[in-house]
Amino acid sequence: MSNSCWGIFRESTHSPGRESDDTEILRLTGKHLEAKGFQVKLKTADEVHEIDDARPRFVFLMCERVEVLHRLRALEAGGVPHVNSPRAVHNTYRDRMIAVLDEANVPFIQSRIVSTAEPAAPGALPVWVKRADVHNTQDGDVVFAPTEAVVATALQGLAERGIARAVLQPHVAGDLIKFYGIGAGGGPHREPPWFRWFYHKDQQLVGHPLDPRQLARLVRRAATALGLEVYGGDAIATATGELVLLDVNAWPSFALYRDEASAGIAAYLALRFAGGRR
Ligand SMILES: Nc1ncnc2c1ncn2[C@@H]1O[C@H](COP(=O)(O)OP(=O)(O)OP(=O)(O)O)[C@@H](O)[C@H]1O
Ligand SMILES: [Mg+2]
């Protein structure tokens, strides 16, 4: 079997302010795979074509655009495994994530999908107004709205850019947590999943009670439901000790843990594709 694999970069439009961090984690993962004897071909999302010179043994990817995921799905259907699977990446589009987590009964921030074409009664303020498809790509995609007027302006701004749907979420007060994970149901050889979390640095930390095992479990349940194997996201620890999951992303930059995470992802991929499935 060929030992070649493809690594696919995230589209720069999907990495605002994080282009180099996102590039680095994929590049370093590739380096670790090469050290394990794999031949790694790194590609931009635009360089993904269904028909290529040679079929890779597997694909690891950070790209997110639907057209590119669609092309990769065809390759996957032809028997080339992908991490994350294109379907799992698509599941992180906000409206799909809400539906998938709801169906799987995984607690997630209360979310209401609205049309951007008409003003919505926001309910209790403040709220967050977020485009319903992709994550934050530019100003106006994710807006904190303390008043009904700001909600209306945010929705109108999205509508003018041709974005038909938005998500309204109540603002949750508390300590903001960032997390990263590799492997959700345990690794391919049943090793425990890799999980790291930290308090976001730009905040006045209150120090609300937080059970790290509960956080890890909540995140793993979400990742499993979405089908993600390499993931990250945001949660809030509230005054009552409740954890509120705000967001889950496919293959984040792992910025603070890049060296450890790239080695961990490469080890995970090597085991996963050594012959055994998850
Ligand atoms: N409901 C909420 N309550 C409190 N804070 C929120 C809420 N929603 C979003 N935020 C804040 O806004 C940030 C961005 O929101 P979110 O993660 O949903 O958007 P995103 O599209 O993934 O953007 P980013 O790429 O910046 O994470 C969160 O990390 C958090 O600080
Ligand atoms: Mg986020």
**For the chain, domain boundaries:** 4-86, 110-170
pLDDT (0 to 100) of residue 276: 43
Identify the nearest ligand to the CA of 233 by its number: 2
What pLDDT does residue 248 have?
Answer: 98
Burial-class residue 209 by CB neighbours within 10 Å (0-12, 13-18, 19+).
Answer: exposed
Q: Are 210 and 249 in contact (CB under 8 A)?
A: no
What is the CB < 6 Å shell around ligand 1?
109, 128, 130, 135-136, 142, 169, 171-172, 176, 234, 236, 246-247
Render pLDDT for 120-173 as a digit per residue (tens, 0 to 9). Answer: 888 899 999 999 999 888 999 999 999 999 999 999 999 999 999 999 999 999
157: how many CB neighbours lie within 10 A of its CB? 18
Distance 194 CA to ligand 1 centre (A): 23
Mutate to test the pocket of ligand 1, among 247, 248, 251, 254 (most ligand atoms within 8 A of CB): 247
Q: So what's the pLDDT on residue 2?
A: 80
The domain made up of 110-170 has a fold known as: Dna Ligase; domain 1 (3.30.1490)
- Distance between first and last Cα of the chain: 19
| Pick from 77-91, 156-170, 233-247, 263-277: least confident | 263-277
E-assigned strand segments in 116-253: 127-131, 142-145, 165-170, 175-182, 194-199, 230-237, 243-250
For the segment(s) 4-86, the CATH number from 3.40.50.300, 3.50.30.30, 3.40.50.20, 3.40.50.10680 is 3.40.50.20
Question: Ligand 1 mean position to 167 CA, how many Å?
Answer: 12
- Ligand 1 pocket test, pick from 142, 163, 171, 203 with the greatest ligand atom count within 8 Å of Cβ, gives 142
